[in-house]
């Protein structure tokens, strides 16, 4: 009941953390964000530029136009987190952008993860999203999320094939 009350003050979202792009879907609205999984940071300190806002398109636009002290980082490799702090900053930016700065209660978030990742990699995704401001985090394997999104009869005893041709595959 309390969780239902909290949902009036926050949003429910699904996140596909891709190696090349991150997509965010909001319940009842569909895909509301599709941006590159790129973060611009100051070399040596790993501090995100522009007060934490040099993420996605704005970070990609900086590629090749910045001094040597600034670098663009892709914090995911082969669908898993390769840089925890940068992934947290990226998730935080995307969650703020989608849910709005005025919301005081973090969203419930479902994150699609590759089916073959380890328990440690799953824990990294969970912790990264929690530290980025999510109130609750749920993980679903990418093939299952794709099947649900495609409207496949998941509970039925019928065969279906899902082919993932994402950037990290």
Domain holding 135, by residue range, is 2-37+74-149
What are residue 163's phi and psi, to 5 degrees? Answer: -115, 120
Residue 10: pLDDT band by 50, 70, 90 thresholds? confident
Give me the pLDDT at residue 163, please: 84
**Does residue 27 belong to any structural domain of this protein?**
yes
pTM: 0.85
Query: What is the residue-averaged pLDDT of the chain?
Result: 86
**Does residue 60 belong to any structural domain of this protein?**
no
Is the distance from CB of 129 to CB of 17 less than 8 angstroms? no
Q: What is the pLDDT of residues 47-78, one digit of tens each?
A: 888 877 899 999 988 877 778 888 888 999 98
User: 106: which DSSP letter?
Assistant: P
Output the domain CATH number for residue 89: 3.30.420.40
Question: In total, how many domains does the chain have?
Answer: 1
Is the distance from CB of 48 to CB of 89 less than 8 angstroms? yes
Cα separation, 127 vs 18, in Å, equals 17
State mean pLDDT over 71-96.
90
């Amino acid at each position: 009941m309390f969780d239902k009350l909290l949902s009036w003050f926050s949003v429910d979202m699904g996140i596909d953390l891709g190696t090349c792009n991150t997509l965010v879907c909001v319940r009842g609205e569909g895909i509301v964000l599709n941006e590159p999984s790129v973060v611009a940071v100051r070399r040596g300190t790993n501090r995100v530029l522009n007060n934490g806002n040099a993420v996605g398109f704005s970070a990609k636009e900086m590629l090749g136009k910045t001094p040597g002290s600034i670098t663009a980082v892709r914090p995911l490799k082969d669908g898993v987190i390769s840089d925890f702090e940068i992934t947290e900053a990226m998730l935080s930016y995307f969650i703020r952008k989608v849910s709005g700065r005025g919301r005081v209660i973090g969203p419930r978030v479902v994150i699609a993860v590759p089916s073959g990742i380890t328990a440690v990699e799953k824990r990294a995704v969970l912790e990264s999203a929690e530290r980025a401001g999510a109130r609750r985090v749920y993980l679903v394997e990418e093939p299952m999320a794709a099947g649900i999104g495609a409207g496949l009869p998941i509970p039925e005893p019928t065969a279906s094939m899902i082919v993932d041709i994402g950037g990290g595959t």
